[in-house]
Amino acid sequence: MRSIFITGGAGFIGSSAAEFFAKKKWDVYILDNLSRKGTRINLNRIKDKIKKFYLEDIKNYKKLNLILKKIKPDVIIHAAGQVAVTKSIVSPREDFNDNILGTLNLLEVIRNNKLKCKLIYTSTNKVYGNLNYLKLKKNKDRYFFKNLKKGVNEEFNLDFHSPYGCSKGAADQYVNDYSRIYNIDGYVLRQSCVYGTNQFGIEDQGWVSWFIIASIFKKKFKVYGDGKQVRDILYIDDLNNLYYKIALNKKKLTTNRIFNVGGGNKFSLSLLGLFKILKKEYGLKLKYSFRSERKGDQKIFISDNSKISKIFNWSPKVDPIKGTRILINWVIKNKKKVNSIL
């Protein structure tokens, strides 16, 4: 029986991965400090499917060390951390400790115990900064890159904006360098916007989910900027399929452990584009007002998935119409749960 250890395993991505691997008959161990709203709901959903839940904090090296020494998992997905740019600006030290210290602790446990496991790190497109040097075009709904056909690839310069950008970016580099120096089988996935069922999106993070929840609950919401900002959105099932492919991959990569991972060009969408879908396809009524643009926000980010697609034979399958439909139905079916975190 293969085993997987997931930090942040009661969060959106972590709990979905836990459920996915449990279905594949892996022994699943998760750790979470339950700091995010909605994590208890997620935990209830998965607790009977997993081997063990550890209520711990990744900042606690000693505890993390004891746990991992015992489990010796085949794969670790590191998804715990502070996740919102806005929060990182208010509390940069907490953000630093959760994202940098937490990641360093995990790497040190792997190194000190010579654990032979794969490590998948959930990095972010934010490591590329606001990309305001790229030429853009726009129409009434969205921005486009003027000259970039496939989107942003891994060769783009790192340019950390916001404490969150710095802490995720630093952890991204630590994972890459520990893999190089200490021969750890690490994979850094620079994920774009991930969305799906069991995501309790809030104004600060998880925009697709947040706008859908706000629309269904008839809540007024704010749009920062002109609403034409574009992201490539990745449905959670597609991400889990990728994690699984990496988990099963036998050939250890010696270089090139960093990958951009998103919905890609085909699944890119602006905020106004999402609103159109919500109104046209689902008849939802939206109440929103505009505010000034958030500092450091990218006008457009689209991942060039070429590298990950080539090495892992992976590409996203769930388009935004299908993905939003699944999410809308989930919110409607789980109104009570969703309302409890609003």
Ligand X SMILES: NC(=O)c1ccc[n+]([C@@H]2O[C@H](COP(=O)([O-])OP(=O)(O)OC[C@H]3O[C@@H](n4cnc5c(N)ncnc54)[C@H](O)[C@@H]3O)[C@@H](O)[C@H]2O)c1
Residue type, 294: R
What's the CA gap between 173 and 154, in Å, rounded?
Answer: 13
Among 193, 214, 308, 331, binds ligand X (CB under 6 A): 193
For ligand X, the binding residue among 21, 29, 32, 246 (CB under 6 A) is 32
What's phi and psi for 212, nearest 5 deg? Answer: -70, -45
Give 142 or 231: the residue with its C-beta nearer to ligand X. 231
164 is catalytic: yes
> Which member of 88, 191, 240, 270 binds ligand X (CB under 6 A)?
191
Q: Whole-number minimum distance, CB 5 to ligand X, in Å?
A: 12
Sequence-distant (≥ 6) Cβ neighbours of residue 313 within 8 angstroms: 245
153 near ligand X, rule: CB under 6 A: no
* Shortest Å distance, C-beta 122 to ligand X: 3
CA distances in angstroms from 262 to 137, 193, 253, 317, listed in the order given: 21, 7, 21, 11
Report, in Å, the least distance between residue 205 CB and ligand X: 7
Looking at 5, 26, 39, 230, which residue binds ligand X (CB under 6 A)? 39
Q: Which of residues 56-115 bind ligand X (CB under 6 A)?
A: 57-59, 79-83, 98, 102
Distance CA 267, CA 127 (A): 21
Q: Is 186 in the site for ligand X (CB under 6 A)?
A: no
- Nearer to ligand X by Cβ, of 14 and 323: the residue is 14
Of 12 and 244, which has the nearer Cβ to ligand X?
A: 12
How many residues belong to the site for ligand X (CB under 6 A)?
29
Contact 178, 186 (CB under 8 A): yes
CA 36, 315, 2, 74 torsion-angle sign: negative
User: Are 342 and 213 within 8 A, CB to CB?
Assistant: yes
Please give the radius of gyration of the chain, using alpha carbons only, rounded to the nearest integer: 19
Cβ contact 159:229 at 8 Å = no
* Site membership for ligand X, residue 122 (CB under 6 A): yes
Tell me which H or E stretch contains 77.
strand 75-78
- The residue among 194, 120, 190, 181 whose CA lies nearest residue 156 is 190
Complex with ligand X: residue 12 or 275, whichever CB lies closer = 12
Closest residue to ligand X, based on beta-carbon distance: 11
Least distance CB 201 / ligand X (angstroms): 9
11 contributes a contact to ligand X by CB under 6 A: yes
Q: Which of 121, 164, 178, 235 is catalytic?
A: 164
Catalytic residues: 164
Residues in contact with ligand X by CB under 6 A are 8, 10-14, 32-36, 39, 57-59, 79-83, 98, 102, 122, 124, 168, 191, 193-194, 206
